[in-house]
Chains A and B, each alone.
Chain A
Amino acid sequence: MTSRTGFIDRNTILHRLNPAMKLCALVSIAVATIVYPSWRLSAIVLLSILVCFRLSHVPLRLTKGRMKFILTFAALMLLLQIIVIENGSILFYLLPQIGSLGPFFPVTDFGIERGLDIVVRFLLIIFSSILFVSITDPTLLAYSLVRIGIPYRYAFSLVLALRFLPLFDSENNIVRMAQQSRGISLEVGSIHKILRSVRYTFFPLLVSALSRVDSLSLSMTGRGFGYSDKRTYLRITHWSPSDWAILAISVIFTIFCFILALGLLPQVSRFL
């Protein structure tokens, strides 16, 4: 079954981990790699993320649309860094000397290193995000957030928002078709035209969306939403020992990266 979110429902160890823990781990990884952007360290983490893709039976689809875009973008970023950075030992020139012209665009070891730092960090953040989304049931994510102290009515707004996505997608399609069938095309030639295009798309959808608010909130109130501060759940999320272990590893990893970034472990940061 396809759904609008990236969640791929499988029954693997990674799928069964606590969603809130997975979110913490994801945030830890992102913070760590932003604090200490070393491509060597990030690449190690990235590799283990790729292993997790395998473990969770989530296909990577490197050649499909979005992935292709991400990889192309990463390649462009690397190229940009290499061109912009001139310091370090020159390895070769992108445009070698021809007669008296050039050489241009020196490629330096420092440039490549900096480029890799940025690109691997980017890939790590994106790939771990994709992994998280693929292996986390969004409903359980919301419910597990309740378990760590967020009031259930707030957390439930995530479920609500995701529930309406496919509906709004399809209404968006219909609105666009209705525009076409009336001869309206989207134009972006001037601010005036952009505003018109936006208005013609946003207004019908907004009215349609907001007109559902009354009926939905009545229906939810009629089923006891807000009846108590607590609530039971049909599907329960647990914290297992492996959840605690992974959480501990992620936190320690983040602290480690802070220590490296502060230069407190020069003998280690020389290698990482």
Chain B
Amino acid sequence: MLEARHVTFSYDGIQPVLRSIDLTLQRGETLLITGPTGSGKSTLAKFLCGFIPRIVRGECSGVLSIDGDDADSLTLTEIARKVSLVQQDPESQICTLTVSDEVAFGPENYLIKPEVMTRLVDSSLASIGSSHLAGRLTYALSGGEKQRVVIASMLACQPDYLILDEPSSSLDQKGILQLGQILSELKKKNLGVICIEHHLEPFLPSADRVLSLSEGRLFPWAQDVGRRGGPFQNHSVLPIETDALASMKNVSFAYADRPVIRRVTMAIHRGEVIALMGDNGSGKTTLLCLLDGLLNPLEGEICLGANSVKRLSKKDIAKKVAMVFQNPNNQIFERTVSREQLLTLDVLGLKESRLTENSGARLDEAGLAEFKDRNPFALSHGQKRRLNVCSAVVHDPDLYLFDEPFIGQDERGQRFITNTIAERARTGGACVVATHDLPFAAEYCSRLVFLENGSLLFDGRPESVFHRLEQTGRPEYSLGKVAS
């Protein structure tokens, strides 16, 4: 049994992150823990594997015991061999070049004999249904595959307890369903599992208990209601014009020899909010980059208004289109929040008073005004995302292209981003949002474009596309999930 008693922890000695937590986990039991961003979930995970207080500094009190042994009497390695932690971002946990090396990494450090190790690697991969990945290079894996390799590499250390921190955050719908199955497999292997999750639905079937962490305390979980609040007219106010704001005609694109976009034709009109959906690797990000003129199509033509993107300068495109990429750190350039916010106005020579004034108001709306003079990289992940949105749209371009804007956003952040999108559509612009967020697509978008292997599979009103997806055997995109 893994047991934590009266755990209190604070990084700075002032602001407690965990307040007197009590928690037990039996072998073979699966426990779900949910809670808002910043409620201390990751901190709790680090305590349970002994990283707090051994490696992470802070003020800590409370007792951790593993199978009856007080953790204080154990070394970190002794704890680590019993309790393994899968952290949030799989990309930051892979340390070797090939999948089998990665899974063997733990056993190698624990001086397991090569013959035994080979079996261990095979069985660890097999137990999460990923034997086919053994010979692959780690960098070429998809997000979901990376996640599974990380889990396998932990299983290869043969722990009794496994803690997963937000494992679904980098997964698409399919990956989340697979993860749910993996959890029930682990349960069969008599592992004690704690899964810390934002989206509970897919994991409820395999859960024995669900707890909720809020402001550093654990409570029994109660179904919460409502997401973004705020009403939003699903269907655009403006009549959809015949002139497209942007359009693609028979566009194809490939990285080296790997085709990513295949003959896509679509038009984007003023007033539209388009959800761009599809599995990881289906070409959503590439499609957005093509629309923004950042990649040149192999074939076909992309137009902004009446002009071909090819004939527009980068600055001209930047004036008309705002793009927000996935990783917030990759799109912040300045040293203070306010300079970051004004950067595009500066570069494009648009420092007129109206836009500059509006920019301040928008920061305020995003809840970032108080951080004006801070280094933007010092913001939290959610705050950075909101700054990305603010700074990209500061010059009121016609078309917004957002790539997974809702990841890591709490309710307030989601509301801000949704409002920004709605406002643009209402005032005669358009938005394309690549997202895995089914409720957003169903409730807030006027149109859903579904990509599969780079081809445009479905395009239409969200409800009808969801219907078609369900009909064509893609239960992971079932609207029923949204209703629940």
Asked if B109 and A208 make an inter-chain contact with CB atoms under 8 angstroms apart, the answer reads no
Asked if A223 and B331 make an inter-chain contact with CB atoms under 8 angstroms apart, the answer reads no
B113 at interface by CB-CB < 8 Å:
yes
B55 at interface by CB-CB < 8 Å:
yes
Report chain A residues within 8 Å CB of B391. Answer: 182
A203 at interface by CB-CB < 8 Å:
yes
> In the docked arrangement, what's the CA distance between A185 and B333, Å?
12
B315 at interface by CB-CB < 8 Å:
yes
Interface size on B, residues (CB 8 A): 71
A61 at interface by CB-CB < 8 Å:
no
> Which residue of the partner chain A has the closest CB to B102?
A163
Asked if A180 meets B294 with Cβ closer than 8 Å, knowing A216-B93, A221-B80, the reply is yes
> Which residue of the partner chain B has the closest CB to A236?
B114
Instruction: Say what secondary structure dominates the interface of chain B.
Output: helix
CB distance from A15 to the nearest CB of B (A): 15
Instruction: Say what secondary structure dominates the interface of chain A.
Output: helix
Asked if A234 and B333 make an inter-chain contact with CB atoms under 8 angstroms apart, the answer reads no
- A230-271 interface bits toward B, Cβ cutoff 8 Å, 1 = contact, 0 = none: 111111100000000000000000000000000000000000
> In the docked arrangement, what's the CA distance between A160 and B102, Å?
11
> Which residue of the partner chain A has the closest CB to B256?
A2
CB distance from A209 to the nearest CB of B (A): 9
Asked if B315 and A138 make an inter-chain contact with CB atoms under 8 angstroms apart, the answer reads no
Report chain A residues within 8 Å CB of B106. Answer: 223-224
Q: Which of A150-180 contact B (CB under 8 A)?
A: 156, 159-160, 162-163, 166-167, 171, 174-175, 177-180
A89 at interface by CB-CB < 8 Å:
no
> Which residue of the partner chain B has the closest CB to A217?
B55
Residue in A163, A182, A211, A227 whose beta carbon sits within 8 Å of that of B96 in the complex: A163
Q: Which of B105-141 contact A (CB under 8 A)?
A: 105-114, 117-118, 121, 137-140
Report chain A residues within 8 Å CB of B105. Answer: 220, 223, 225
Report chain A residues within 8 Å CB of B318. Answer: 180-183
Residue in B77, B85, B330 whose beta carbon sits within 8 Å of that of A178 in the complex: B330
Q: Which of B396-442 contact A (CB under 8 A)?
A: none
B343 at interface by CB-CB < 8 Å:
yes
Asked if A167 and B139 make an inter-chain contact with CB atoms under 8 angstroms apart, the answer reads yes
> Which residue of the partner chain B has the closest CB to A218?
B51
> In the docked arrangement, what's the CA distance between A90 and B93, Å?
65
Asked if B153 and A223 make an inter-chain contact with CB atoms under 8 angstroms apart, the answer reads yes
A1 at interface by CB-CB < 8 Å:
yes
A215 at interface by CB-CB < 8 Å:
yes
> In the docked arrangement, what's the CA distance between A208 and B106, Å?
26
Asked if A183 meets B347 with Cβ closer than 8 Å, knowing A200-B333, A204-B331, A204-B332, the reply is yes
Interface size on A, residues (CB 8 A): 54
Residue in A163, A171, A223 whose beta carbon sits within 8 Å of that of B330 in the complex: A171
- B69-112 interface bits toward A, Cβ cutoff 8 Å, 1 = contact, 0 = none: 00000001100110011011101111111101100111111111
> Which residue of the partner chain A has the closest CB to B42?
A215
> In the docked arrangement, what's the CA distance between A155 and B76, Å?
23
Asked if A181 and B323 make an inter-chain contact with CB atoms under 8 angstroms apart, the answer reads yes
> In the docked arrangement, what's the CA distance between A184 and B392, Å?
12
Asked if B292 and A181 make an inter-chain contact with CB atoms under 8 angstroms apart, the answer reads yes
> In the docked arrangement, what's the CA distance between A138 and B98, Å?
11
Asked if A215 and B89 make an inter-chain contact with CB atoms under 8 angstroms apart, the answer reads yes
Asked if A207 and B329 make an inter-chain contact with CB atoms under 8 angstroms apart, the answer reads yes
> Which residue of the partner chain A has the closest CB to B381?
A211
> Which residue of the partner chain A has the closest CB to B388?
A178
Q: Point out residues on B near A: beta carbons under 8 Å.
A: 46, 49, 51, 55, 76-77, 80-81, 84-85, 87-89, 91-98, 100-101, 104-114, 117-118, 121, 137-140, 150, 153-154, 157, 256, 289, 292, 294, 314-315, 317-319, 321-323, 325, 327, 329-333, 343-344, 347-348, 377, 391-392
Q: Which 6 A-B pairs have the closest CB atoms?
A: A224-B109, A183-B318, A223-B106, A234-B104, A178-B331, A166-B139
Q: Point out residues on A near B: beta carbons under 8 Å.
A: 1-4, 138-139, 156, 159-160, 162-163, 166-167, 171, 174-175, 177-185, 199-200, 203-205, 207-208, 211-212, 215-216, 218-228, 230-236
Q: A207-B329, A211-B329, A218-B87 provided; 4 other pairs, C-beta below 8 A? A: A175-B330, A218-B51, A223-B154, A232-B112
11 contacts between A and B (CB under 8 A): A174-B331, A178-B331, A180-B314, A183-B344, A199-B333, A222-B80, A222-B84, A223-B105, A224-B80, A228-B109, A233-B104
